[in-house]
Amino acid sequence: MTTNKTYDVAVIGAGVIGTSCAYHLVKKGLSVALVDRNNVARGTSSHCDAVALIVDKQPGVDAAMGYASIQRFLELQNELDSDFELHQRGCLYACDTEQEMEVAAQYARDMQADGYNVNALSPKELLEHEPFLAKDLIGGLFSDIDLGLNPYKLCFAFVDTVLGKGLDLYTYTNVTGVRLDGEKRVQGVDTDKGFIPCGKVVNACGVWSPEIGRMAGLEIPVEPRKGVILVSAPSFKFCNQKVQEFGYMISKFSNHECKRDPELEKYEVSFVIEPTDANNVLIGSSRNFAGYDISTEMEIIHVIAKRAIRFYPILKDLNCIRTYAGLRPFLADHLPLITQVDEVPGYYIATGHEGDGISMAPTTGRLISELIAGEEPYLDLTPFSFNRYKRRA
């Protein structure tokens, strides 16, 4: 397959981050090779939730990224050639304890101070949003700007819109090396099917990004963090929007000031439910480190199901038709890498979004394209720089 064509950029990884980067780069007038050892959206992007949220972001740069992506999604709905099932239903958080509600209320105040419409709810207001929730919950939060979408269709929409118009797609092509010259400048990508010449490389491989980093002598400290999801049999529509327990925030950001049941803490389980257009519900979730293993253990499934019934008692009457697990690309400070690498000119990294890959994909793609095009990025990239983690392999 060795090609005589020289590309401006090779993007490695055809998940939601890689396809967004490829799309936005082509829109900048650059020629792009998108390379994946499987097909489009066959890794984490096909084993994830289907939302773009601001209400699960920490105030500050995290929330700013989330909000910018929501605005970009609304533009992409009219910009991409195919539908990706975007809808704006909002997102609801439910609190199980007074301690959680205190933390949630402060979180709402902090988000409001930054200009985001996140509101604390009384128990009565919570049930007005979701009547089938347990009647003894303490209260909650609501954001009306959060989005739902189909991540699988989103990846293909990014690709299909620019395929053959500046983008070439190399699927089932395994990258075996990143070729550098004597000054460590990127020259291209070696694959099991031949060499792809290019001046720049974007490592958008998610949980597999450390492997591609080592090909250029870089140590990228991403770890795979597993999450398990249960899928219910179809039922009547008892859930109107994505609902999470506020304990999800505690698990996500490892905030151990709020004490939780040891059974929940063992696998960092917190309740999340998301309705589908087919009247199934997706139920989660867990967070644990198990390498690249994506099996689903009965103990975790049991804890998730038990926790779900606590919030939606009606779930005890539904059947679970399947389970699956995905891997989140975890970084210890919960901020992604969206960065150039000074020591390897032409090497860029877009990874480490953990569970926010869908939420932050449009913003990440835009920022990477601005970096590579030599433009001033529209957000300050200092918090996402590789310099904060930099280690040589």
% of the chain with per-residue pLDDT over 90: 78
**Do both 227 and 311 map to the same domain?**
yes
Which has the higher per-residue pLDDT, 62 or 131?
Answer: 131
Within 10 angstroms of residue 262's Cβ, the number of other Cβ atoms is: 7
pLDDT given for residue 57 in this prediction: 86
In the beta sheet, which residues pair with residue 194?
A: 191
- Strand segments, DSSP code E, in 248-309 are 272-275, 281-284
pLDDT given for residue 253 in this prediction: 60
pLDDT given for residue 2 in this prediction: 61
Q: Residue 185: exposed, middle, or buried by beta-carbon count in 10 A (0-12, 13-18, 19+)? A: middle
Q: pLDDT digit string (tens) for 221-248?
A: 999 999 999 999 999 999 998 999 997 7
Q: How far apart are CA 326 and CA 43, in angstroms?
A: 8
**Do both 231 and 241 map to the same domain?**
yes
Task: Answer whether residue 289 is part of any domain.
Answer: yes
pLDDT given for residue 252 in this prediction: 60
Q: pLDDT digit string (tens) for 201-225?
A: 999 999 999 999 999 999 999 999 9
Give the chain's domain count: 2
Q: How far apart are CA 288 and CA 120, in angstroms?
A: 29
pLDDT given for residue 133 in this prediction: 98
**Do both 292 and 344 map to the same domain?**
no
Instruction: Determine the structural domain holding residue 32 and report its residue range.
Output: 7-47+152-222+333-388
**Do both 308 and 374 map to the same domain?**
no
Do 41 and 25 meet the contact criterion of CB atoms below 8 Å apart? no
Q: How far apart are CA 201 and CA 179, in angstroms?
A: 10
**Do both 263 and 304 map to the same domain?**
yes
pLDDT given for residue 119 in this prediction: 95
Q: How far apart are CA 276 and CA 237, in angstroms?
A: 9
Task: Answer whether residue 56 is part of any domain.
Answer: no
Going by C-alpha positions, the residue among 85, 68, 2, 40 that lies closest to residue 364 is 68
pLDDT given for residue 280 in this prediction: 92
Q: pLDDT digit string (tens) for 46-89?
A: 666 667 888 888 888 889 988 999 999 999 999 999 999 998 88
- Strand segments, DSSP code E, in the chain are 7-12, 32-35, 51-52, 91-95, 118-121, 139-143, 147-148, 167-170, 175-180, 186-191, 194-203, 223-232, 242-245, 272-275, 281-284, 320-330, 337-340, 347-351
Task: Answer whether residue 79 is part of any domain.
Answer: no
* Weakest mean pLDDT among 25-39, 40-54, 120-134, 229-243: 40-54
Which has the higher per-residue pLDDT, 121 or 89?
Answer: 121
Q: How far apart are CA 161 and CA 145, in angstroms?
A: 26
User: Over the range 156-181, which residues count as b (16 or more CB within 10 Å of their CB) and which as e?
Assistant: bbbbbbbbeebbbbbeebebeebbbe
Which has the higher per-residue pLDDT, 266 or 30?
Answer: 30
Q: How many CA atoms lie within 13 A of 227 on its CB side?
A: 28
**Do both 191 and 319 map to the same domain?**
no
Tokens of 387: 């310099």
pLDDT at 392 over 60: no
Task: Answer whether residue 159 is part of any domain.
Answer: yes
Q: How far apart are CA 204 and CA 207, in angstroms?
A: 9
Query: How many distinct helices (H) and strands (E) make up the chain?
Result: 10, 18
pTM of the predicted model, to two decimals? 0.92
Residue type at position 252: K
Give every CB contact of residue 179 below 8 A, 6+ residues apart in sequence. Answer: 186, 187, 188, 189, 190, 195
pLDDT given for residue 393 in this prediction: 41
**Do both 136 and 254 map to the same domain?**
yes
Q: How far apart are CA 359 and CA 353, in angstroms?
A: 9
**Do both 298 and 177 map to the same domain?**
no
Residue type at position 131: P
**Do both 200 and 322 map to the same domain?**
no
Radius of gyration of the chain measured on its C-alpha atoms: 21
Q: Residue 81: exposed, middle, or buried by beta-carbon count in 10 A (0-12, 13-18, 19+)? A: exposed
% of the chain with per-residue pLDDT over 70: 94
**Do both 38 and 182 map to the same domain?**
yes
